[in-house]
Amino acid sequence: MPPAALAIIAVVVVIGIIALIARGGDEPVASVAAAEPVIPAISEEDIAAAAEQLGPRDQELVSIGETGVSINRAGGGRKYVALTFDDGPGPDTPAVLAELKKLDVPATFFVIGRNVKENPQVLNQVVAAGHEVGVHTWNHPDLTTLTPKEQESEIASTAGEIVAVTGMASRLFRAPYGSVNPAVLKRAEDAKLLSVLWDVDTVDWTRPSTEQIVQTAVANAGPGSIILMHDGGGNRASTVAAIPKIVSQLRAKGYEFATVGDLVISDPPGSDDMSSDSRSTQQ
């Protein structure tokens, strides 16, 4: 090979190497980022600390309940009610959020921990829309059948997941099936959560018609009512369709809407509005 050809090859190789280095120089941000391990934004310790930390409103909320009781409704001094949705976040939650947004109604969502893990972005939509979030356990068991350690784990894991996803701690708790006993209520208190049940059950999980859901909610609601519905656990099309009718009919009767926390803080429940036993079974 003549020296000139060797020189040309050498130049081509050098240019090639320079080009490769230059290309590499453009890309390390993406490749390094892709290779980086996913570091949680909040550490386990921070999550536990946040779940324990009480702001002034949290303090007020947690101190509303007496020892060993659940709140079934607010005091009844104001024509406000709270819509509550259990068992999400799930596929029907965005439709529920869309209805609430159209109506400008705040609500409270009692979420299942494992569903939060699967649908974190849906929970963030719930929080971004200004709704309140409560703990509804990780696996939705009947807590009264579990050991104290299992009860604690069901509650703490869900409370921690809510903090991990939203950066905010929940101070509300609703036992699956409304099934409580002194041990379960003690676990909630230990986790600094106010146990909240309901006084109006739409039994929407039994798949009644939209009209039946509306009728049950509107006929049974009174000042301070906490109305139980579901955004998870199955197809919730009837519940979604019921929301605007419930809201317009209750508004026509002079009611306004608040989250559970705002409802009970603005109109504290009396002893008659609390209970230490289980509610009727529900999903």
Cβ-proximal residues to 283 (8 Å cutoff; 6+ apart), any chain: 86, 87, 177, 205, 230, 233, 234
Structure tokens at 278: 């289980």
Q: Which is nearer to Ni ion, 135 or 156 (CB)?
A: 135
- Point out which span in 35-43, 87-95, 125-133, 191-199 binds Ni ion (CB under 5 A): 87-95
Binding residues with Ni ion: total (CB under 5 A): 3
Give residues 171-210 in contact with Ni ion (rule: CB under 5 A). 176
Q: How far is the CB of 233 from Ni ion (least distance, A)?
A: 7
Decide: 244 and 195 in contact? Cβ < 8 Å.
no
Report d(CA 283, CA 273) in Å as an integer: 22
Q: How far is the CB of 60 from Ni ion (least distance, A)?
A: 26
- Point out which span in 51-59, 78-86, 127-135, 149-157 binds Ni ion (CB under 5 A): 78-86
Q: Which is nearer to Ni ion, 137 or 225 (CB)?
A: 137
Catalytic residue, from 201, 204, 230, 273: name it.
230
- Point out which span in 84-92, 99-107, 121-129, 200-208 binds Ni ion (CB under 5 A): 84-92
Cβ-proximal residues to 46 (8 Å cutoff; 6+ apart), any chain: none
Element (H, E) at 67: none
Q: DSSP letters of 3-33? A: HHHHHHHHHHHHHHHHHHHHHHHHSHHHHHH
Residue showing the smallest CB distance to Ni ion in the complex = 86
Is residue 87 part of the contact set for Ni ion (CB under 5 A)?
Answer: yes
Is residue 92 part of the contact set for Ni ion (CB under 5 A)?
Answer: no
Judge residue 91's burial from the number of C-beta atoms within 10 Å of its C-beta, 0-12 exposed, 13-18 middle, 19 or more buried: middle
230 is annotated as an active-site residue:
yes
Give residues 218-257 in contact with Ni ion (rule: CB under 5 A). none
Of 86, 99, 132, 231, the one binding Ni ion by CB under 5 A: 86
Cβ-proximal residues to 121 (8 Å cutoff; 6+ apart), any chain: none
Catalytic residue, from 86, 92, 199, 262: name it.
86
Q: Which is nearer to Ni ion, 108 or 255 (CB)?
A: 108
Among 109, 64, 133, 83, CA closest to 273: 64
List residues with catalytic annotation: 86, 230
Contact set with Ni ion (CB under 5 A) = 86-87, 176
